[in-house]
Structure 1
Amino acid sequence: MQRKKIITSAFSNLCTDQRIEKVCRTLYENGYEVELIGNDWNGAEKMSRPYSFSRIKLISTSLKTAYFEFNWKLYHELKKKADKNTILHANDLDALLPNYVLAKKLNIPLIFDSHEIFSEMPAIQGKMSQKLWRYLEKNLVPKIKFMITASSGYANWFKNKYGIDPVVVQNAPRKLNFEQEIPENNPKILLYQGAINPFRGIDKAILAMHHLNNVIFKIAGDGPKKKEYEELVIKENLQEKVQFLGKLLPEDLRKITPTVDCGMSIEENGGESYFYSLPNKVLDCIQARVPVILSNLPEMQNIKRQFDIGEIIKNHEPENIALAIQTILNRGRENYQPELEKAANILCWENEEVKLLQVFERASNFAVSFKQ
């Protein structure tokens, strides 16, 4: 039987979205014809993929209007490209509506991949836009038959709220056969990787550097808080101890992560989307066999209970962050290796993609597109 065509869409410039890249590559390598649609918001860096991709050109200057413009243009793109042999694959709530409308119109399968709880993200807390996203979520999500999400916490949230039972496909990296020697860094290196957004604990980790000697804090990424945190480093006179590496391509970041002594994922409780998240950086550090300091949030507690891969911070006071970092450095990266190795063999994309393919297989054989 011929595989269906999959049209994957996301409000993203696609270049650094590792989840979408892994999903599309897995589908492509398993015989599906894949077409990926994103946009040029925040630039359209050059990229190469084995499947076809395109970016919708946006003329909006504000994010609010960009969402409307993208959804309108995405609907028309999907209408041109989708037929009865298509599976639509919407990534996150900001790409769901056009996919939903067209899937219903053509009676074709739709798979919704919720990378987070979009309506509960910190950036929209208490704003009018949050009401709009909640309204959309409430009216569309309960009717969807095929849904995946990135953590068991998210899955339980959607199940409790909307009676839908998503399949959990964690955003784990591909398995890395780790054979390199652990470097003897002097000074030791703490690494943050990811978007420089609020509620990531970055500012508190910067202040924690006052309580650490012979340690450099490297921040790899970009985002709305970068300038503020750069100014904080200057104000605190920590230029010798904190380095901003800028936004790196995933392949360049993968070279840096295995060379550090300690990673960090100390997200704060900035709403339910953060509270139930399992950040990519935790799984990236595990795969690079790097111990990591973690927040005392459910998904990270769950990882720590299964595998002794780092230390959970007591709270976000800089002294307590420094204490967790120092505990890892005193114990030494070498001593975390057996548990990191165990975790890396379980928390890898090769295990997650099996579940992903099962969802697409079921969608390929669907009888009814939406819940009645």
Structure 2
Amino acid sequence: MRVIVSVFSNLFTDQRVEKTCQTLIDQGYDVELIGNNWGGALEMQRHYPITRISLTSKSLKFAYPEFMFKLYKELKKRTDKNSVLYSNDLETLIPNFKIAEQLNIPLVFDSHEMFSEMPSVQGKISQKIWKWVERNYFPKLNNIITASDSYADWFVKEYDIARPMVVRNLPRQQYREQQESKSQKIILYQGWLNYSRGIDKAIMAMQYVENAVLKIAGGGPMEAEFRAIAKQYDVLDKVEFLGKLYPSDLRKITPTADVGLSIEENKGLSYYYSLPNKISDYIQAKVPVVVSDFPELKKIALGYQVGETIENHDPKHLAEKINLVLNKGKIFYKKNLDKAAQELSWEHEEQKIIKVLEQAIHKK
């Protein structure tokens, strides 16, 4: 049976979707992946068919409807009675739902975010639109997956639906030894460079951290602003912007860090209830963490005792927590990191995807 997976991304750095596709292939399904060229169409190799829908819109408010319209046409061409549709996030849901309804075929919906509660839509007309989509379509879906327990609980409370299956966005086990620290310590942030990620606060905190460099791995719309902040606070010599990296290159850099940051700010429930994949990437690389005092992050950092949480984003307070981890040293956390890395892996999550897919197929 063929599974057609769709997502609004250029596919290049979407590790959750890549892992999902590989899990389906390993289970014997034929997989086809549909994305788009938003943010560029860097060359990539996959051992299954991929399609990138070409978008001409210059802003997201026009790119979303353009993608939905074109995705519907692509699905219409490619889908038959022997297909399963696997929709990732709200941008793909409506066209997938329409095609699944027309052909009476299984549909699995994987919600990576609480879309209507993301910081970027707070107080905007787009929040009302995404809320409308959630409210009108979620009760009609039988096979929902989401990325954290907190997300699942919120969806149940908000829309009175059966609890979604929780599949956390964890990395595959890497079985690596902890790398020794060098004389100059490395503080690592990896991810999208946008507001509400705490990046500006981390840069300011470097005023109070000695013998260390903050490495920022990733690209995004606020890179120039973050560079300006580093200059303003006279820490340019302590901050290094690595740019957007291939996943394979990022996996080489992460283990060299002495502490990994996941310090999102509470600018919406989607962030507050999130479980960013960077925290489990740090743990797989045997790197202790400093994280926000959010439910899912705290559950890992304190539950496994692999780092510290921050009570607020004041740069001095953040620096205190970073210095605490740096002074203890990576070796202090090694035993707990080893245990966490073994348990927090995709190998423990992927079978839940298969279970949902099989249930979806058998219901039809």
Q: Scaled by the length of structure 1, what TM-score is found? A: 0.96
Trace 1:303-318 onto structure 2 (pairs within 5 A): 303-318=300-315
SS state at 2:25 partner = helix
Amino acid at match of 1:95: T
CA distance in 2, matches of 1:44, 1:251: 18
Q: For residue 101 of structure 2, what is the aligned residue in structure 1?
A: 104
Q: Scaled by the length of structure 2, what TM-score is found? A: 0.98
Q: How far did residue 350 of structure 1 move?
A: 0.5
Aligned with residue 42 of structure 2, among 45, 60, 84: 45
Trace 1:1-372 onto structure 2 (pairs within 5 A): 4-164=1-161, 165-179=163-177, 182-367=179-364
Is the 2:283–2:340 Cα contact (8 Å) retained in structure 1? yes
Q: How far did residue 84 of structure 1 move?
A: 0.9
Q: How far did residue 274 of structure 1 move?
A: 0.2
Once the two structures are overlaid, the 10-residue window that deviates more, 195-204 or 301-310, is 301-310
CA distance in 1, matches of 2:303, 2:55: 45
Once the two structures are overlaid, the 10-residue window that deviates more, 208-217 or 357-366, is 357-366
Q: Which runs of 4 or more aligned residues in structure 1 lie more than 4 Å from their structure 2 counterparts after TM superposition?
A: none
Q: Deviations over 1:170-211 (max 9, x none)?
A: 0000001113x5223121000000001111111011110001
Q: How far did residue 114 of structure 1 move?
A: 0.4
Amino acid at match of 1:339: N
Q: Deviations over 1:301-327 (max 9, x none)?
A: 111342001011121111111011111
SS state at 2:62 partner = helix
Aligned residue pairs total: 363
Is the 2:289–2:301 Cα contact (8 Å) retained in structure 1? no
Q: How far did residue 5 of structure 1 move?
A: 0.8
CA distance in 1, matches of 2:148, 2:76: 31
CA distance in 2, matches of 1:318, 1:59: 41
Q: Deviations over 1:50-90 (max 9, x none)?
A: 11111001111221111111100100110111111111111
Amino acid at match of 2:358: E
SS state at 2:308 partner = strand
Amino acid at match of 2:254: T
Is the 2:181–2:256 Cα contact (8 Å) retained in structure 1? no
Amino acid at match of 2:337: L
CA distance in 2, matches of 1:207, 1:107: 55
Q: How far did residue 129 of structure 1 move?
A: 1.1
Q: How far did residue 217 of structure 1 move?
A: 0.3
Amino acid at match of 1:295: S
SS state at 2:188 partner = strand
CA distance in 2, matches of 1:349, 1:100: 27
Q: How far did residue 239 of structure 1 move?
A: 1.0
SS state at 2:95 partner = helix
CA distance in 1, matches of 2:267, 2:86: 28
SS state at 2:108 partner = strand
Is the 2:262–2:279 Cα contact (8 Å) retained in structure 1? yes
Is the 1:206–1:233 Cα contact (8 Å) retained in structure 2? yes
CA distance in 2, matches of 1:146, 1:184: 45
Amino acid at match of 1:60: S
5+ long unaligned stretches in structure 1: 368-372
CA distance in 2, matches of 1:363, 1:53: 23
Q: For residue 370 of structure 1, what is the aligned residue in structure 2?
A: none
CA distance in 2, matches of 1:142, 1:27: 26
CA distance in 2, matches of 1:314, 1:327: 14
5+ long unaligned stretches in structure 2: none
Amino acid at match of 2:145: I
Amino acid at match of 2:166: V
SS state at 1:11 partner = coil
Is the 1:182–1:334 Cα contact (8 Å) retained in structure 2? no
SS state at 1:15 partner = coil
SS state at 2:349 partner = helix
Identity of aligned residues (%): 53
Amino acid at match of 1:170: R
CA distance in 2, matches of 1:314, 1:333: 22
Q: How far did residue 36 of structure 1 move?
A: 0.2
Say what the alpha-carbon RMSD is for the aligned residues. 0.9
CA distance in 1, matches of 2:52, 2:39: 12
CA distance in 2, matches of 1:141, 1:117: 12
